[in-house]
Structure 1
Amino acid sequence: MIEADGVTCRFGGAAGGAEGDAGVVAVDDVTLSVADGEFLVVAGANGSGKTTLVRSFNGLVTPDAGTVSVNGTPVSDDLVAARSAVGMVFQDPRDQLVAATVGADVAFGPENLGCSHAEIDRRVEDALAAVNMAGRGDDRIAGLSGGERERVAIAGALAMEPDHLVLDEPFTGLDEPARRSVLDRLRELHAAGTSVIAVTHDLRDVLGLADRVVGLSAGRVAVDDAPRAAAEKLPGLDVRVPASFDFGETGGPTGREPGEPSEHETGGPTDQ
Structure 2
Amino acid sequence: MISVRGVTHGYGDDVVLADVSLTVPDGEFLVLAGANGSGKTTLVRHFNGLLAPDEGEVLVDGTPVADDPVAARTAVGMVFQEPRDAFVAATVGADVAFGPENLGLARPEIDDRVGDALAGVGLAGRRDERIDRLSGGERERVAIAGALAMRPGHLVLDEPFTGLDEPARRSVLARLDELHAGGTGVIVVTHDLRDVFDRADRLIALSDGRIAVDGAPAAVREELTDLPIRVPGPR
Task: Tell me the TM-score normalised to structure 2 length.
Answer: 0.94
1:92-136 deviation line (CA, Å, top 9, x unaligned)? 112211011011001111222233333322322232233333322
Q: Determine which of 13, 20, 26 is the counterpart of 1:36.
A: 26
Q: Determine which of 142, 157, 162 is the counterpart of 1:152.
A: 142
Q: Which residue of 2 aligns with 1:99?
A: 89
1:111 aligns with 2:101: yes
Check 1:74–1:122 CA distance in 2 against 1; reply closer, same or farther (3 A cut): same
Q: Which residue of 2 aligns with 1:261?
A: none
The one-letter amino acid of 1:9's match is H
Q: Which residue of 2 aligns with 1:205?
A: 195
1:189 aligns with 2:213: no
Q: Which residue of 1 aligns with 2:117?
A: 127
Matches within 5 A, 1:213-228: 213-228=203-218
Q: Which residue of 2 aligns with 1:138?
A: 128
CA-CA distance at 1:26 after TM superposition: 0.7
Structure with max Cα Rg = 1
Q: Distance in 2 between matches of 1:85 and 1:225?
A: 24
Which 4+ residue blocks in structure 1 deviate beyond 4 angstroms?
none
CA-CA distance at 1:196 after TM superposition: 1.0
CA-CA distance at 1:172 after TM superposition: 1.5
1:167-192 deviation line (CA, Å, top 9, x unaligned)? 10111122323222221221222122
Q: Distance in 1 between matches of 2:209 and 2:78?
A: 20
Q: Distance in 1 between matches of 2:108 and 2:165?
A: 31
Q: Which residue of 2 aligns with 1:8?
A: 8
Of 115-124 and 224-233, deviating more is 115-124
Q: Determine which of 72, 85, 103 is the counterpart of 1:82.
A: 72
Q: Gapped runs of 5+ residues in structure 2?
A: none
Of 210-219 and 173-182, deviating more is 173-182
User: Are 1:5 and 1:67, in contact at CA under 8 Å, matched by a contact in 2?
Assistant: yes
Q: Distance in 2 between matches of 1:157 and 1:236?
A: 34
Q: Distance in 1 between matches of 2:106 and 2:225?
A: 48
Q: Which residue of 2 aligns with 1:250?
A: none
Q: Distance in 1 between matches of 2:81 and 2:217?
A: 23
Check 1:235–1:120 CA distance in 2 against 1; reply closer, same or farther (3 A cut): farther
Task: Tell me the TM-score normalised to structure 1 length.
Answer: 0.82
User: Are 2:137 and 2:169, in contact at CA under 8 Å, matched by a contact in 1?
Assistant: no
Q: Gapped runs of 5+ residues in structure 1?
A: 13-22, 246-272
C-alpha RMSD of the superposition:
1.5
Identity of aligned residues (%): 71
